[in-house]
Chains A and B, each alone.
Chain A
Amino acid sequence: MLKVDRLSAWYGEARALREVSIQIDEGEIVTLVGRNGAGKTTLLRCLMGLHGGSYGNSYGKTSGTVSFLDADITRLGPHRRARRGLGYVPDDRGVYATLSVEENLLLPPAVGPDPWPMERVYETFPLLRERRRFPGTRLSGGEQQMLALARVLRTGARLLLCDEPTEGLSPLIVQQIGDILREVKSAGVTVLLIEQNVHFAATVADRHYLLAEGRIVESMDNEEVRAREHELLEYLGI
């Protein structure tokens, strides 16, 4: 479904990604694990078309190719990628303060063959229905994360790019996010997830890539992650 071939990215002279090649198949949940500064967020931004090009700031450069659903999207701007079915959940959740909760949900245009009706969004996220008239940023951190997820799910996006959705949230909310991810996976949605919590990652994902200094250094399955959990946690410095 998503194929990244020798993707490199620079911030000015500094190289943030070095020939990253990954592949994600339809219906998979794949995590990106790595220390801070390893290039995880940069990789997601490159996939979304937010790094370099005519968008973003002028010193961000990239090379390599990205294809999605068998089409080369390397040269497409962010909004074109979103319209092909990439759903972006940024690291700061990206909830708009000047939009109500409901407007936050309705802002992105429906993209996939199977967008969610609002009724389904509110059934899956009942809290959002209660607070739909609130300004987006009046929600708690966990609720904002739910809103950011619900927003891209509603569009019918085929591949979610989630930048550390569990960061700084209580175990109960992390568990809820896990439930939702498993639920959308069973509905056929594919997810690429940045995750530092390797224990949580092993409970929701199928495979894991370890990113270090801008390179993919390892690809692991769940058993490997479980077996090496302590080693990984130590490496990640958690």
Chain B
Amino acid sequence: MLQQAFNGLVGGAFYALLALGLAVIFGMLNVVNFAHGACYMLGAFGAFVLLDSFGVNFWVALGLVPVVLGLAGVVVERLFIRRLTPLDPLYNFLFTFGLALILQDLVKRQYGVQSQPYPRPSQLTGSINLGLFEYPAYQVFVLVTSLVLCGGVWLVLTRTRVGMIVRAATERPELTRALGIDVARWVTPVFGFGIALAGFAGVLAAPMRAVNPLMGADLIITVFAVVVIGGLGSVFGSVTAGFLIGLVSALGNYYAPALSQTLVFILMAVVLLWRPAGLFGRPEEVL
């Protein structure tokens, strides 16, 4: 039972990292990034290709892949998303959705649909005694890293001037410009950062999840449910809901395996009935 809960938290670590990126992107750009799952998949494939073709190890990949993906995100934002933003929001939905399909199929064409092997880094192959049970060291590493990263982002958002600007621009973009802040200048780095987080989660996933072109698509549907449960655009809500959903689906898997796929969506429906803006969301203001 406790071990199941721990599995859930580890799974939740991925939801949290992905939901965090989606939430900051949605907050700042008002864009639902359907390509987020594809970025996660590219993160895992990036690590795989680096190791397979260039012999670059996990730790270097963990630093390098998110940076490269983040920069690619910056280019995509500048070239496409920025130009589509003044139009109907549907254009950006379609764009990111199309981009996800293209990325997925490009990878599929190159590597097929079968899963690629990725070994655990040698430092983290054993297991750790957590008192009540033994647990794989790598999974512990994933959980701790995710918690530290989410906590770090939380500190930046709540304690720094950059975080203050992001919060202000998320809440009232137009007013924030009228108060002398160049919101457009912050949009690009925030988008790049969200993408980098997805890439980071992808690299983390490579040694413990199946590395295949559909890994992101499988995960992202749950992540959307996580973001909705946490409250659209709420960073704190997304992270909390990420771990919560991880826990719920792992326990569901254990006690009611038949239900486990739908459990997340039942939970989403219940939360939305109870709090239509999500657990930590604020109701949309009437204009």
> What CA separation (Å) do A100 and B282 show in the bound complex?
16
Assess the A54–B172 pair: CB atoms within 8 A: no
Q: Which residues of B contact A50 (CB under 8 A)?
A: 174, 177-178
Assess the B170–A83 pair: CB atoms within 8 A: no
Segment from A106-114, A124-132, A205-213 that makes contact with B: A106-114
Q: How far is the CB of B31 from chain A (nearest CB, A)?
A: 17
Which of these, B172, B174, B176, B282, contacts A56 with CB under 8 Å? B174
Q: Which residues of A contact B221 (CB under 8 A)?
A: none
Segment from A67-75, A91-99, A222-230 that makes contact with B: A91-99
> What CA separation (Å) do A79 and B164 show in the bound complex?
16
Chain B's closest residue to A77 (CB) is B177
Tell me if B's interface is mostly helix, strand, loop or mixed: helix
Contact pattern, A 25-49, Cβ under 8 Å of B = 1, otherwise 0: 0000000000000000000000011
Given contact pairs A96-B172, A98-B171, A99-B168, A109 touches B178 in the complex (Cβ within 8 A): no
Contact pattern, B 166-207, Cβ under 8 Å of A = 1, otherwise 0: 011011101111111111000000000000000000000000
* B contact residues, range: 20 to 34
Assess the B178–A98 pair: CB atoms within 8 A: no
Within 8 Å of chain B (Cβ to Cβ): is A151?
yes
Within 8 Å of chain A (Cβ to Cβ): is B55?
no
Chain B's closest residue to A48 (CB) is B178
Q: Which residues of B contact A94 (CB under 8 A)?
A: 172, 175
> What CA separation (Å) do A25 and B263 show in the bound complex?
66
Q: Which residues of B contact A56 (CB under 8 A)?
A: 174
Q: Report A122-173 residues with CB < 8 Å from chain B CB.
A: 151-152, 155
> What CA separation (Å) do A159 and B61 show in the bound complex?
53
Chain A's closest residue to B167 (CB) is A98
- How many positions in chain A have a CB within 8 Å of any CB in the partner chain? 30
Given contact pairs A58-B86, A79-B183, A96 touches B178 in the complex (Cβ within 8 A): no
Assess the A107–B165 pair: CB atoms within 8 A: yes
Q: Which residues of A contact B165 (CB under 8 A)?
A: 107
Tell me if A's interface is mostly helix, strand, loop or mixed: loop
Q: Report A157-211 residues with CB < 8 Å from chain B CB.
A: none
Which of these, B86, B167, B178, contacts A78 with CB under 8 Å? B178
Sample of 25 A–B contacts (CB below 8 Å) = A48-B178, A50-B177, A55-B177, A58-B86, A78-B177, A79-B177, A79-B181, A79-B182, A81-B178, A82-B177, A82-B178, A83-B180, A88-B175, A88-B179, A96-B172, A97-B282, A98-B167, A98-B170, A99-B167, A103-B164, A107-B179, A107-B181, A108-B180, A111-B180, A152-B179
* Interfacial residues, chain B to chain A (CB-CB below 8 A): 86-87, 164-165, 167-168, 170-172, 174-183, 282
* Interfacial residues, chain A to chain B (CB-CB below 8 A): 48-50, 54-58, 77-79, 81-83, 88, 90, 94, 96-99, 103, 106-109, 111, 151-152, 155
- Listed from nearest, the 6 A-B pairs whose CB atoms lie closest are A82-B180, A108-B179, A78-B177, A78-B178, A88-B178, A98-B167
